[in-house]
Amino acid sequence: MCGIIGCVSSLQSNIPDGVEIMLGGLERLSYRGYDSAGIAVLEENRIKVIKRKGKVAPLAEEVKRVGLQSCIGIAHTRWATHGEPSDKNAHPHLDCKGHIACVHNGIIENYLPLRRHLQQQGHTLLSDTDSEVIVHLVEEHYTGNLEEAVREAIQRLIGSFALVALSQHHPHSLIVARKDCPLIIGCGQGGNFVASDIPVLLSYTKKFIILENGEMAKISVDGVSVSNFSGDKVSKDIQQIEWENGKVDKGGYSHFMLKEIEEQPKSILDTMRGRLNSDGLVKLEGIEFPAGFLSNLQRIYIVACGTAYHAAMIGEHIFEDLLRIPVEVDLASEFRYRNPILDKRSLVIAISQSGETADTLASIAEAQARGSRVLAIVNVVSSTMSRQADWTLHTRAGAEVAVASTKAFTAQQIALFLLALRFSQHAGRIAGGIMEDIAHSLMALPAQVQSILDNSKPVLELCRWLASKDTGNNSGFRFNDCFFIGRGLDDPIAREGALKLREISYINAVAYAAGELKHGNIALITPESPVIALLTQDRVRGKMVSNIMEVIARQAPVIAVAYEDDGQIAEVIPPIADLPSQIIRIPRTIAWLAPILASIPLQLIAYYTGINRGCDVDQPRNLAKSVTVE
Ligand code: G6P
């Protein structure tokens, strides 16, 4: 994964000090990883490197302490793949003489034979990373021309890379190259830049060159020249980007996650805005299919990772209900390796908040190579996925900073629902009256979400209880396990609730389709494992109540998420002595939209339990917001 930023400016330019730009950039790139960070600059024509384990702050402190300043350099924030997070494994890496420095995002799959070869040639490699071989290969090929040396070095790499090289023999330029990891060049006045994404550079320029796979570039103060890996010059357009520098802050909240949870009435409304009228007619900008495409459609695949995968599972139910076309949902990391049956009669829908997830991007490429069209549901407008897909439907959740996805998830559900409606209207499958009811339910959602947020007292009590201490327990906490159960559309929400609680509070939270409990999983149910049961799907309510009775019979404490008008559930669930209320209420809506409302209390449960257990909720251990390696 990892985030990269580099800068070449002239002392006379009005661009601030390169070190300041790069440190600020690393903060903004931390969504790509935050286990260590480093910077290499040229100071008096010598490379100076500072690297620190941990987030950007310790690096920034050290940089300030030594008074590092320069107008040319490269910097990196890491998410460890090969080698633990440590000072030595942080980038930039240096060649043996300390004359060349390199940062890398991606994975070098053949690093072991390369490492062995380099060691036999007398190179000393200091880290445990795959990335370090790159700078030594550049050193091996260097005969006075850095660009040529990088070009020759990358011919020997198998895997993915976005990389930037800096050499003290070439104090006015950086060499960059890209294969399967994003890299963009920012063209400023008096300086040029390279980075993993566009937003990080928007304070300095609005002019960008987007590098494609197989391209490399020499970036100097006064120009950029792009070539391919064979050395042929490539002519590139400079794109003028009109977005604002959307730098986001916590806006008075203690954490981005809570801010983003509370933004959902707005993000849901924004995702619907201008796309749905009160008769239920849906218009989706930029989504026009060629004649006959929808009527010939035989199968839809929905691919995604993490939280977006749970949105995909919800999409499967909705599309099959509304369209009666077979839908398959796949984890993007599995999809491309399982030889899926794809042709021009199948549509692949890819869902991603970031639009940069490596496995999802690879699935899109695989589908397109096999003749299928791809529609992406993406939050980040500038992302690789938006450019790669045949059609893009943007969720309008706004910038999501917390690693755990919340508002993007509910926006993805809205986008999927609008899309399913659009398809079924096109196919003439839904009658006008039903459409009006659906539109009414959709439009009621923002206020309903707000009412859940405004009435969160039972959730807060539950979270205090879930995070209660127990000094007799090794972990120091009373509960270390928690189970989520649901049926139908409650199953993906149970999975999402469990994922959220796991990643934010480190409780071992697991979800089961409630009907599967009896097939082994019930063996784990004990009085020490609370069960959170979802009851929003009336079609399977009776069966769900039976499953709840089964866990009650095993003395598990049960908490239910149920509609406000579900009086009966209170009679089913035995009280828990030290928990005032164990029923979390949500307003009634139609079954297809219930997952949106049920998501909200589960997000709050994860957030407040994490807070009560003293966890770093915005940047949990070992995670990254954007997973850019496979
Ligand atoms: C990471 C993030 C998750 C996210 C997943 C997929 O694991 O921590 O929050 O759901 O990647 O990311 P995407 O950007 O493709 O939605």
Mutate to test the pocket of ligand 1, among 31, 361, 363, 627 (most ligand atoms within 8 A of CB): 627
Residue to mutate, 625, 628, 629, 630, ligand 1, most ligand atoms under 8 Å from C-beta: 625
Active site residues: 2, 625
pTM of the model: 0.91
User: Which of 417-426, 487-496, 562-571 is most confident?
Assistant: 487-496
Q: Phi first, then psi: what are they for 209, rounded to 5°?
A: -115, 125
From 349, 623, 626, give the residue whose CB has the most ligand 1 atoms within 8 Å, as the site to mutate. 626
Q: How many CB atoms lie within 10 A of CB 158?
A: 12
- Separation of CA 518 and ligand 1 centre (Å): 31
Please indicate whether residue 625, judged by its CB atom, sits closer than 6 Å to ligand 1. yes
Beta bridge partners of 513: 486
Q: How far is CA 10 from CA 26, 70, 291, 587, in A?
A: 21, 10, 54, 60
CB of 378 shorter than 6 A to ligand 1: no
Cα–Cα distance list, 98 to 3, 126, 168 (Å): 22, 12, 9
Omega before 92 within 30 of 0, i.e. cis: yes
Q: 298 CA distance to ligand 1 centroid (A)?
A: 29
Report residue 74's pLDDT band, with 50, 70 and 90 as the boundaries.
Answer: very high
Q: What is the rounded distance in angstroms from the CA atom of residue 306 to the CA atom of residue 119?
A: 39
Question: Averaged over 400-419, what is the pLDDT?
Answer: 97
Residue nearest to atom 1 of ligand 1 (CA): 625
Strand order across the beta sheet in which 327-331 lies: 327-331, 299-304, 346-352, 373-378, 391-394
CATH of 256-446, one of 1.10.10.10, 3.40.50.620, 3.40.50.10490, 3.30.70.890: 3.40.50.10490
Which long-range CB contacts under 8 A does 421-427 form with residues at least 24 apart?
421/276, 421/280, 421/282, 421/322, 422/282, 422/283, 422/284, 422/287, 423/294, 423/319, 423/322, 423/323, 424/322, 424/323, 425/281, 425/282, 426/294, 427/294, 427/295, 427/323
Atom of ligand 1 nearest to the CA of 354: 14
Confidence of residue 11 (pLDDT cuts 50, 70, 90): low
Of all protein residues, whose CA lies closest to atom 4 belonging to ligand 1? 306
Q: Go through the chain and tell me how many residues it has.
A: 630
Contacts (Cβ under 8 Å, ≥6 apart) of 292? none
> Which two tokens mark 243?
């977005």
- Please report which confidence band the pLDDT of residue 175 belongs to, taking 50, 70 and 90 as the band edges: very high
| Amino acid (one-letter) located at 214 | G
pLDDT tens readout for residues 410-468? 999 999 999 999 998 888 777 667 888 899 999 999 999 999 999 999 999 999 999 99
Q: Is 267 in the pocket of ligand 1 (CB under 6 A)?
A: no
Cβ of 353 less than 6 Å from ligand 1:
yes
C-alpha distances (whole Å) from 284 to each of 2, 373, 390, 394, 458 are 34, 17, 14, 10, 38
Those residues whose C-beta lies under 8 Å from the C-beta of residue 220, and which sit 6 or more positions away, are: 8, 172, 173, 192
Ligand 1 mean position, distance from CA 304 (Å): 9
Give distance in angstroms: CA of 149 to centre of ligand 1.
Answer: 36
Give the range among 168-172, 285-289, 425-429, 588-592 with minimum mean pLDDT.
425-429
What span, in angstroms and rounded, lies between the C-alpha atoms of 539 and 591?
Answer: 9
Which of 257, 349, 357, 616 has most ligand 1 atoms within 8 Å of CB, for mutation? 357
Task: Find the mean pLDDT for residues 190-212.
Answer: 93
- Tell me the CA–centroid distance for residue 351 and ligand 1, in Å: 10
- Give yes or no for residue 629 CB within 6 A of ligand 1: no
pLDDT of residue 506: 96
The mean pLDDT of 296-325, rounded to a whole number, is 96
> What's the CATH number of domain 455-612, 3.40.50.360, 3.40.50.10490, 1.10.580.10, 3.40.1190.20?
3.40.50.10490
Which residue's alpha carbon is nearest to atom 7 within ligand 1? 306
The mean pLDDT of 504-517, rounded to a whole number, is 95
pLDDT averaged over every residue in the chain: 94
> What is d(CA 51, CA 104) in angstroms, rounded to the nearest whole number?
14
405 lines ligand 1 (CB under 6 A): yes
Looking at the chain, which residues constitute the CATH 3.60.20.10 domain(s)? 3-246
Q: CB–CB of 299/327 below 8 Å?
A: yes
Looking at residue 580, its pLDDT comes to: 85
Q: Give the tens place of pLDDT for each residue, 246-293.
A: 677 888 999 999 999 999 999 999 999 999 988 888 999 989 888 889
C-beta separation of 576 from 552 below 8 A: no
- Mean pLDDT, residues 113-136 taken together: 98
Q: Which of 356, 385, 405, 416 should be mutated for ligand 1, with most atoms under 8 A from CB? A: 405
Q: Please report the atom of ligand 1 found closest to the CA of residue 380.
A: 14
Q: Is 388 in the pocket of ligand 1 (CB under 6 A)?
A: no
Reduce the DSSP state of residue 208 to 3 states and report it: strand
Instruction: Tell which CATH architecture fits domain 3-246.
Output: 4-Layer Sandwich (3.60)
Give the pairing type, strands 100-105 and 161-167: antiparallel
For the cut 90, the answer to whether the pLDDT of residue 14 exceeds it is: no
Q: For residue 166, what pLDDT is reported? A: 98
What confidence category does residue 60 fall into, taking pLDDT thresholds of 50, 70 and 90?
very high
Place of tokens 């690093």: 111
Are 68 and 51 within 8 A, CB to CB? Answer: no
Which residues, in sequence order, are bridge partners of residue 39?
50, 75
Instruction: Give the pLDDT score at 248.
Output: 77
Residue 526 to residue 481: CA distance in whole angstroms: 10
The two beta strands, 161-167 and 173-179, are: antiparallel
> What pLDDT is stored for residue 577 in this prediction?
87
Q: Take atom 15 of ligand 1 and give the residue whose Cα is closest.
A: 352
Å from CA of 357 to ligand 1 middle: 7
Q: What is the mean pLDDT of residues 286-301?
A: 91
**Where does the chain hold its CATH 3.40.50.10490 domain(s)?**
256-446, 455-612
Quote the ligand 1 centre to 403 CA distance (angstroms).
Answer: 8
Q: Decide whether any atom of ligand 1 lies within 6 Å of the 354 Cβ.
A: yes
List the single range of 111-125, 142-156, 460-474 with lowest mean pLDDT: 460-474
Give the pLDDT score at 521.
87
CA of 354 to the centre of ligand 1 (A): 7
Strands 327-331 and 373-378: unpaired
Ligand 1 mean position to 549 CA, how many Å?
Answer: 35
384 lines ligand 1 (CB under 6 A): no
Nearest CA to ligand 1 atom 5: 306
Ligand 1 centroid, distance to 461 Cα (angstroms): 29
Identify the pLDDT of residue 257. 97
Residue 15: pLDDT above 70? no
> What is the rounded CA–CA span in Å between residue 464 and residue 504?
15
Q: Is 306 in the pocket of ligand 1 (CB under 6 A)?
A: yes
Residue 357 in contact with ligand 1 by CB distance below 6 A: yes
* Ligand 1 contact, 264 CB (< 6 A): no
Higher pLDDT: 38 or 203? It is: 38
Residue 344 or 434, more confident: 344
Q: Give the 3-state secondary structure of residue 376.
A: strand
Indicate whether residue 305 lines ligand 1 (CB < 6 A).
yes
Question: What is the rounded CA–CA span in Å between residue 250 and residue 461?
Answer: 25
Ligand 1 centroid, distance to 104 Cα (angstroms): 21
